[in-house]
């Protein structure tokens, strides 16, 4: 094996990892490792904190411990193997949920790498970005414009691509209505994407204090669920072709099925901790659909960055130094709007 190509590298670096189920993040000193063929090493400039980072301590998915979490990574390439043909030292790159694919399973053979049966996941099956450096698989790396703020770009690799890519793949065309349930990390981006794509956009929240913010992000209408039944209110607009559920609230989400127009889609993007009860008759009468959507490919993420730049979409973040990784993790559901670790 030929040696890796590098400029400068440390003998070791700092990372924060979960060591046991239900535990807290612990500071680790990680020995430097040169990338193997098919890998690159990136100096982390920013790593978004996502609700699904809780997979490591909660073990809701198989996740070997210890594990460094983080799948919204922006950084600069500092080391590549001599066999690397795509990425070069100094390039600004990123990595999201999709950490690599096997290329041999049924789904990969169909070209659908995002549903690979043996998919690698950054921060879950591979160490992620709560660190000074991260090793990434080359095929899953994303090119990132250097004029984007790394901290604001990092959440686009999960929260951003999940909303942008899902919406552009739905059967809905402007100026039809799209409703966004939840105005948090995903929702504040979904509002901007929907508005910029030309949809008439309705924000749904149970917090009336968010109305001004929602309208500033592109909402044409705001419906406060603490005051009115949101499904009935949406029916007055003729029903929605798409309702995007971006906040984990099974009760609120299941009620919205009644607000869909004929051939409408309930698009569930939040990780709901509780099962939803859906009346089959509603689905049958109006040919309704309930869909999820995996985030996106590296090319999808690059499309998302281009759209963000063209439409001047803003990801709102709270920044935390690496030594406050636990604090950032604890703020994953309450930050306004995304917590980001900036090593």
Domains defined along the chain, listed by start: 5-157+296-342 (3.90.180.10), 160-291 (3.40.50.720)
Taking the C-alpha atoms of residue 82 and residue 1, their distance in angstroms, rounded to an integer, is: 9
| DSSP 8-state symbol, 126 | B
pLDDT band for 2, please (50, 70, 90 cuts): low
Q: Residue 7 — very low, low, confident or very high, per pLDDT cuts 50/70/90?
A: low
CA distance 238 to 245: 19
What's the number of CA atoms in the CB half-sphere (13 Å) around residue 342? Answer: 12
CA-CA-CA-CA torsion sign (242, 248, 251, 254)? positive
Pull the structure tokens for residue 214: 């929602």
**What tens digit of pLDDT does each residue of 70-111 get?**
999 999 999 999 999 999 999 999 999 999 999 999 999 999
Q: Beta-strand (E) ranges in the chain?
A: 5-6, 12-18, 25-31, 39-48, 73-80, 92-95, 98-100, 120-121, 133-137, 142-143, 177-181, 200-205, 221-224, 240-245, 260-268, 289-291, 317-321, 338-342
Q: What's the mean pLDDT when you consider all of the chain?
A: 94
Where b means 16+ CB within 10 Å and e means fewer, 305-317 reads: bebbeeeebebeb
Q: What is the pTM of this model?
A: 0.93
In whole angstroms, give the CA distance from residue 120 to residue 71. Answer: 11
* pLDDT (average), residues 184-203: 97
Place of tokens 């921060």: 123
Are the C-beta atoms of 205 and 186 separated by less than 8 Å?
no
Work out the average pLDDT over 185-203. 97
Nearest-5° angle of CA 166, CA 167, CA 168? 95
Decide which of 137 and 6 is more confident.
Answer: 137
């Amino acid at each position: 094996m030929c040696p890796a190509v590098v400029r400068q590298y440390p003998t070791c670096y700092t990372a924060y990892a979960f060591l046991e189920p239900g535990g807290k993040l612990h500071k680790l000193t990680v020995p430097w490792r040169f990338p193997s063929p098919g890998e690159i090493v990136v100096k982390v400039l920013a790593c978004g904190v996502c609700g699904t980072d809780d997979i490591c301590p909660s073990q809701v998915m198989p996740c070997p411990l210890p594990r460094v979490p983080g799948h919204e990574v922006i950084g600069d390439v500092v080391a590549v193997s001599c066999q690397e043909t795509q990425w070069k030292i100094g390039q600004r790159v990123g990595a999201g949920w999709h950490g690599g694919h096997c290329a041999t399973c049924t789904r990969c053979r169909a070209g659908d790498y995002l549903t690979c049966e043996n998919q690698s996941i950054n921060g879950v099956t591979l160490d992620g970005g709560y660190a000074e450096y991260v090793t990434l698989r080359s095929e899953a790396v994303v090119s990132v414009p250097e004029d984007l703020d790394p901290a604001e770009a990092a959440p686009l690799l999960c929260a951003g691509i999940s909303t942008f890519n899902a919406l552009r793949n739905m059967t809905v065309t402007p100026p039809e209505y799209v409703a966004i349930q939840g105005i948090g990390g995903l929702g504040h981006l979904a509002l901007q994407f929907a508005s910029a794509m030309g949809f008439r956009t309705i924000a749904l929240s149970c917090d009336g204090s968010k109305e001004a913010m929602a309208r500033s992000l592109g909402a044409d209408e705001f419906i406060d669920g603490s005051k009115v039944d949101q499904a009935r209110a949406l029916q007055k607009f003729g029903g929605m072709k798409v309702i995007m559920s971006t906040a984990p609230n099974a009760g609120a989400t299941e009620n919205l099925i009644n607000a869909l127009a004929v051939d409408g889609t309930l698009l569930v993007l939040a990780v709901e901790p509780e099962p939803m009860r859906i009346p089959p008759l509603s689905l049958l009468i109006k040919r309704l659909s309930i869909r999820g959507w995996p985030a996106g490919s590296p090319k999808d993420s690059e499309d998302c960055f281009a759209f963000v730049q063209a439409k001047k979409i803003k990801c709102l973040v709270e920044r935390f130094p690496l030594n406050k990784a636990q604090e950032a993790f604890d703020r994953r559901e309450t930050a306004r709007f995304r917590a980001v670790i900036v090593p």
